[in-house]
Amino acid sequence: MKNSSSRRGAVLFVLLLTLCMIFTSCGSELTSSVSGAAGKSSSGTQTEQSSDSGGSTQTQSAGNSSFSISDIPAYSGDPYVAIADNVPDFSSADLTAQSYEHYSDLDSLGRCGVCTASVGQDLMPTEKRGSIGMVKPTGWHTVKYDFVDGKYLYNRCHLIGYQLTAENANEKNLITGTRYLNVDGMLPFENMVADYVKETGNHVLYRVTPVFTGSNLVADGVHMEAESVEDSGSGVMFNVFCYNVQPGVTIDYATGESHLSGDSADNSGTTSAAGTAASSQSGAGSKSAQSAVQEYVINTNTMKFHHPDCSAVSRMNNSNKQTVTESRDQLISEGYEPCGLCKP
């Protein structure tokens, strides 16, 4: 009887031990499975967040600038002003010798956003620019003033110039800009980048950000940044804000409506007597300067002519550089264009 009880006790002990081992194993397996699943989920989430964060950092860095319109002084007669000591807000990771271009989607009001490109010769146009008249940027009005160059107050301004990336009638790259913004503000910097890329074969990281106040349909101006990549900015580097203004005209940036400054909503384009006189005097002086013979430096590759002390001259390949003594009119008749930077 005693032996039988001992055997039963031994059997019960073995059964209990077996059950404990089974439950312990299951518990361990279950813990391992949950831990593994949680680890995978966490890892996946981290990877996804890391990817998003990386994309966000790239977008923030190469797509948006740390810039506020409150940092900009009011327009005081110059078409643009330097920002942050003229040093662009790019990170080293943004600078790439691979050509690319990116244009932000239009916002809910149809306004353009940041446009960025690593400009290389392979992005530049190989044919003449086509029509862009079918694009109507926000705030667009067709209005003329006699004293404005070309008469029309507004141009369809390419944020990234056609000469840089061959983007033409792209609504994500066109804003309503004054003639003054287009020619006096933006064009000199576009020309600087284009000349450098053509002359060196290098790349320039180039970013243009239209700056709107509130829900205005017309931008206050554009923030332009550029840095040459292969030479770490020694060829091209700037960080400027170009004002979307037109001297002599008052603009309602909420709608794009305009009128002569000091006049009540008159869009007739008739200038004041003082304005006409000033325009005539300016034209006479300009005509005299155009016919005067002087020394210029021409680039036979880009077909641009420069003042000898222009910063673009030092970047020219010697094989393309020539010093000539001619009049401005003569050079233009030979097919050369004035440099947008030194404006000879």
Sign of torsion over alpha carbons 328, 330, 331, 335: positive
Q: What distance in Å separates the CA atoms of residue 243 and residue 80, rounded to the nearest whole number?
A: 6
**Residue ranges of the domains in the chain?**
67-271, 288-338
Give Cα 229 to chain centroid, integer Å: 15
pLDDT of residue 311: 79
pLDDT band at 38 (very low <50, low <70, confident <90, very high): very low
Q: What whole-number percentage of the chain has pLDDT above 70? A: 72
Domain spanning 67-271: CATH superfamily: Extracellular Endonuclease, subunit A (3.40.570.10)
Residue 20 has pLDDT above 70, yes or no: no
Separation between Cα atoms, residue 210 and residue 122, nearest integer Å: 25
**Secondary structure (3-state) at 209:** strand
Comparing C-alpha atoms, which of 150, 216, 141, 215 is closest to residue 176? 141
Query: What are 152-198's pLDDT values in tens digits?
Result: 999 999 999 999 999 999 999 999 999 999 999 999 999 999 999 99
- As a whole number of angstroms, the distance between CA 178 and CA 322 comes to 35
Spatial CB neighbours of 342, under 8 Å, sequence gap ≥ 6: 306, 307, 309, 310, 311, 312
Q: What is the CA radius of gyration of the chain?
A: 32
Ranking 56-60, 127-131, 280-284, 285-289 by mean pLDDT, the lowest is 56-60
Q: Where are the beta strands (DSSP E) in the chain?
A: 80-82, 100-103, 115-119, 154-158, 174-178, 204-211, 221-228, 237-243, 249-251, 258-260, 293-299, 304-306, 321-327, 337-338
Tell me the mean pLDDT in the region 238-257: 98
State residue 335's pLDDT score.
74
Condensed to tens digits (0 to 9), the pLDDT of residues 68-106 reads 778 899 999 999 999 999 999 999 999 999 999 999 999
What is the model's pLDDT at position 250? 97
The predicted structure's pLDDT at residue 180: 97
Q: What is the pLDDT of residue 29?
A: 36
Determine the pLDDT at residue 274: 30
Query: Which helix H or strand E contains 54, and what residues bound it?
Result: helix 2-58
